[in-house]
Amino acid sequence: MDPLTILSDEEVFFQNEIQKFALKQIAPKVASMDESEQIDPAIIEQCFAMGLMGIEIPEKFGGAGGSFFQSILAIEEIAKVDPGVSVFVDVQNTLVNNILSRWGTESQKEIFYPKLVKDHVGCFCLTEPNSGSDAFSLTSRAYLDGDSWCLEGKKIFITNANEASIFVIFANIKPEDGYKGITAFIVEKGMQGLSIGKKEKKLGIRASSTCEVIFENLRVPKENVIGDLGKGYKIAIETLNEGRIGIAAQMLGLADGAYHHALKYTHEREQFGKKINSFQSVQFQLAKMRTEIEACRLLVYNAARLKDAKKPFTREAAMAKYFVSEVSEQVASLSLELLGGYGFIKEFPLEKYYRDVKIGKIYEGTSNLQLQTIYKLCSSDI
């Protein structure tokens, strides 16, 4: 059954094309990528060839010239098949490309957009060993040395780091000013002093790489500063607000994928001489999941539409990420249970959805941080 939400003809066509790509190209490789803990290089090439790594990048730079909403549709559709590949596409579009779009100079766009469209993977380097939810207690340092900035520090849990050629790194140029010294820099693979550290072994989304990014005496040209000096905190906060819609879309797709696998199974599995979907208890569970997934979809789409309309969306993004990550965990769990023992083995996809879903409550802002944001922005309710 198609989603109940209204899409334009162009959006439906785009969604269908991504769905075909995910089912034909990604689905056959999901299990092997999960086992090997890396995205198949052919899938990466196909994501670029499909234009999925530069959805909002203007056509004059080789991008698709699409909308943020289309990025969200792509993230959702891919996540129905593999949330690991979905977050790979998500980070490129909602974080890296968005930063350049909003704060990059024309010169930076001319240099980096064509690369991000063609074959360069980007990553967003903010989290450090002692700064997780308190992201702005970061200790990475940047100091001016002649015509270059010199960066020292280490980032952890960086998505796409293993495949990345472009790194957006946040470091503090004036620690005595606290978060007001944080500045964003564009760094390219191959620059002396940049290295990739330990690759994490994870519970879920294992195809997506999560690594340390280390910089020691890393010299970065002055022209690679993104935005104003000391305004990196603003760039990070506002970019993560957009990124949270992407994570919500990823969790939405995951929930939808898990639900449809469970729905199909209940139409095939027989117990006590009849299909298990004929039992009212099963029917009610499926009906509840379907309703909650559609509620999630409305939250995600609404936040994305607001972003495209250049209207305030921070509260709606937080609501979407919070609610969808909660619902998707419940849906993944219940879908697995509907398969009984089969849901617990790797031959069926539900155990992977169940492993993949847990990260939704954690990265790009925990559920508690989303609730805090929502509450702060509810003053208008009085």
CB contact at 8 A, 323 and 331:
no
> For the packed helices 314-338 and 280-308, what is the interaxial angle rounded to 10 degrees?
160
Instruction: Give residues with Cβ within 8 angstroms of 10, minimum separation 6.
Output: none
Q: Is residue 295 classed as helix, strand or coil in its secondary structure?
A: helix
**Of 1.20.140.10, 1.25.40.20, 1.10.3430.10, 3.10.20.340, which CATH number belongs to 233-381?**
1.20.140.10
Quick one: which of 349, 362, 360 has its CA closest to 82?
349
One-letter amino acid of 272: F
Beta bridge partners of 215: 153, 194
Q: What share of the chain is helix, strand, coil (3-state, %, to 5)?
A: 60, 15, 25
Looking at 22-62, list the stretches that DSSP marks H as alpha helix, in order from N- to C-terminal side.
Answer: 30-36, 41-49
The burial class, CB within 10 Å (0-12 / 13-18 / 19+), for 48 is: middle
pLDDT by residue (tens digit) across 269-309? 989 999 999 999 999 999 999 999 999 999 999 999 999 99
Catalytic residues: 364
Question: What is the spatial distance between Cα 102 and Cα 118, in angstroms, rounded to a whole number?
Answer: 20
Question: What is the spatial distance between Cα 12 and Cα 19, in angstroms, rounded to a whole number?
Answer: 10
pLDDT by residue (tens digit) across 11-39? 999 999 999 999 999 999 999 999 999 99
Quick one: which of 43, 170, 42, 201 has its CA closest to 95?
170
Question: What is the spatial distance between Cα 209 and Cα 76, in angstroms, rounded to a whole number?
Answer: 19
pLDDT by residue (tens digit) across 64-96? 999 999 999 999 999 999 999 999 999 999 999
Q: Is residue 276 classed as helix, strand or coil in its secondary structure?
A: helix
What percent of the chain clears pLDDT 90, i.e. is strictly above it? 95
Query: pLDDT value at position 5?
Result: 64
Instruction: Give residues with Cβ within 8 angstroms of 28, minimum separation 6.
Output: none
CATH topology classification for 9-120: Butyryl-Coa Dehydrogenase, subunit A; domain 1 (1.10.540)
Task: Identify the band that residue 103 occupies on the pLDDT scale cut at 50, 70 and 90.
Answer: very high
Task: Identify the band that residue 1 occupies on the pLDDT scale cut at 50, 70 and 90.
Answer: very low
Query: pLDDT value at position 133?
Result: 84
Where are the chain's structural domains?
Answer: 9-120, 123-230, 233-381
Q: Does domain 123-230 have CATH number 2.40.110.10?
A: yes
Determine phi and psi for 23, rounding to 5 degrees.
-70, -40
Quick one: which of 238, 223, 375 has its CA closest to 314?
238
Quick one: which of 177, 173, 135 has its CA closest to 156?
135
Which residue in the block uniquely carries the two structure tokens 């100091």?
143
Instruction: Give residues with Cβ within 8 angstroms of 312, minimum separation 6.
Output: 306
Determine phi and psi for 213, rounding to 5 degrees.
-120, 120
pLDDT at residue 10 above 80?
yes
DSSP 8-state secondary structure symbol assigned to residue 57: S
pLDDT at residue 4 above 60?
no
Question: What is the spatial distance between Cα 342 and Cα 363, in angstroms, rounded to a whole number?
Answer: 29
